[in-house]
A and B are shown apart, each in its own frame.
Chain A
Amino acid sequence: MSAKSSASPPVKDAAKRQRRSILVIIGLLLLFALVFRLRPAPGDLLPAEARVVETAKPHVCVHTLLENEVEEKKILRSLELVRELGATTIVQFFPWAYVEREDDQFDWWHADRILRHVEGQGLRVIARLGLAPNWLNEDPGATLNTLPETAFPKFAQYAAAFAERYAGTVDEIIIWNEPNLSFEWGYQPVDAGRYVRLLQETYPAIKAANPAAVVLAGALAPTLEGRGSSAGLNDLDFLRDMYAAGAGDYFDALAIHSYGLKEPPSAEPAENRLNIRLAELLREIMLENGDEQKQASITEGGWNDHPRWAHALRPSQRSAFTVEAFEYVEAHWAWLERLCLWAFRYPADLNSYPDNYTLVSANFVLKPIYYALQDYARGWEREEVLWLPPPETK
């Protein structure tokens, strides 16, 4: 064994070690760069310029459910699909419980993220505010819908903070959801007077924060429940009670929930029937109370195509009825600004019939109704056939 091979000069060894160290550092830097490239910083997914909705039907609107969507790329994909549908507007829920998780500590991170992408896709947004934070209720039986009257000022504070922060981006705000159902009050008895007191607290707070904001009230569930029912009160009587309790001065437009169930959009409205044109009866109540100058929007509506749900249609019927409803609105309801379909997409399947209200599945499969509404909104005539004809069973 030679001395040369057994012992290199110390200076040469040191140089080798130095080179190796430099290579290791460069390798680590490249690795970090790769990792951070794969994890886009907030905003990286935004388009360079805001996109524009191409549509022939500006009253087309969908209710999105991005508040529970964790992945940013799925928020983006959802909103891209809304824009490509030809819908100008979304209704989006911004739960108070998600933003103010601790008293007076507002975390707008997720709401900011959603609204950045809404703007990026050139969409308008109607914000729905609701869901009470856990810290308001010590009762373990309280739900996120349990809102004691003592907390109305805190809700108004949240609504004002929301209105101020997003002024110019969100100028339409719905106060609470379906207050004519006991479920939406944490299974407490419903009371139109209490809802009006919530409006009286919240409306001026929003207006002070953003004078241009349009406050929508109502968002009443279509139901036939009579007075004294533990489940709730029908929307017509509840709206009458709201006016009687002085609601008129505390909202700018009415949010309507109107579902077709088994009935076509042309079906006549009646106090004892649920169909899309029930909205006309709510409008009559507005007129009876001198609110003809106020607009309205259907902020939830549509049909379901589950194969077994008692109130569902088959997919082709659902598509046809939905498009007919939009045509009906266009032709007959000048007072209605938008018809917003429930619901664009759930972040995860509910594994029951509500999944069949969506236009896009949780894993982004586009449903027949998506194509039908896209054809309507964008003035397209699609030749592609989605499915094979029924097998000949004779």
Chain B
Amino acid sequence: MIKHAGFQLSSKVVAVAIAVLLAAVWRHYQPPNRDIAFPAGEIRIGVDGSYPPFAFDEAGSLTGLDIELGEAIAAEIGLPVRFVNLSFYGLYDALKTGAVDLLIAALRVDQARTAHVRYTEAYFDDGLVLVSASDNQSISAEALSNTAIAYEYASRADSQIGLWEGDGQEIARRPYELSTYALDALRLGQAEAALVDATTLRLYVRERREWQHQHQFVSREPYAIAVRIDRDEVFKLVDRALSTLKESGEIARIVTKWF
């Protein structure tokens, strides 16, 4: 018998408790079961095939960053993949009904959905970036008064500039119809900085590799894979696969390929 603080526990009870604890620890560290996660023997991924460069139709078949990411994850898990092309509005309902196992659709982590959806770690960041010439050391998001900033009219960047102005910074606004015009303005010396989303900057630079510039993120817009919250095995498998692919450099390779 073990005596402790007035309690008497039989060694049998202690043994059972330890066994239960060990079982729980063992189960926690067991690899998730692929057959339980994907009983159909394939991974059904919901995508939105109208959103290049993440997913789009090319000669009748889907391609893009999200498609290659889905293929890489499926290969890592060791199952075939089937992409289900959905409209943006139908994505989360398809996940809820079980029409798809996960969503890879340039989806930003949405805190309002976390009661029903679990997101993996991010695989891309489409936050706003403040871009300036590479030799301009004076540009900083914290001190932008009197800085001529080019941006797309009525865009997220426009709202961000409004926030800076609300903080007392006097920005010299340079609104353009398109974000790419804002980057042109910076590149041609017609603005000291440009504020655009990271995807626009990446696509712009892809066409102008020689352009010397620097950028800093001023907001974060993480894109992640969404899984239904009650599908724990699916989440573990996908999250683990994503981590492995990140560590191996495969995610960086895929992102670089599309930008």
Contact = CB atoms under 8 A, between A and B. Distances in A.
Interface of A: 140-143, 145, 181, 183, 186-187, 307-311, 314-316, 348-354, 361, 363, 365-368, 386-388, 390-393
Given A183-B86, A353-B50, A363-B159, 4 more contacts: A315-B177, A349-B156, A353-B51, A393-B188
Chain B binding site: helix, strand, loop or mixed by DSSP?
A: mixed
A181 B94 CA distance: 12
Given A310-B56, A352-B106, A392-B188, A183 B181 contact: no
Given A141-B96, A314-B178, A351-B221, A183 B199 contact: no
Contact of B108 (A307, A352, A392): A352
B154 A365 contact: yes
Given A141-B98, A187-B94, A361-B159, A390 B108 contact: no
A392 B99 CA distance: 50
B88 A354 contact: yes
A311 B94 contact: no
Interface core residue of B50, B93, B158, B221 (most chain A CB under 10 Å): B93
Interface core residue of A143, A308, A348 (most chain B CB under 10 Å): A308
B52 A186 contact: no
Interface of B: 50-53, 56-57, 86-90, 93-94, 96-99, 106-108, 110, 112, 152-154, 156, 158-159, 162, 174-181, 184-185, 188, 190, 199-200, 203, 221, 230
A365 B152 CA distance: 12
A143 B53 CA distance: 30
A363 B162 CA distance: 10
A349 B155 CA distance: 11
A350 B88 CA distance: 10
Nearest to A181: B90
A187 B184 CA distance: 45
B221 to A, nearest CB: 7
Nearest to A188: B97
Contacts of B203: 308
A391 B188 contact: yes
A310 B62 CA distance: 13
Contact of B175 (A145, A354, A366, A387): A387
B195 to A, nearest CB: 14
A368 B88 contact: no
A272 to B, nearest CB: 16
B175 to A, nearest CB: 5
A366 B159 CA distance: 11
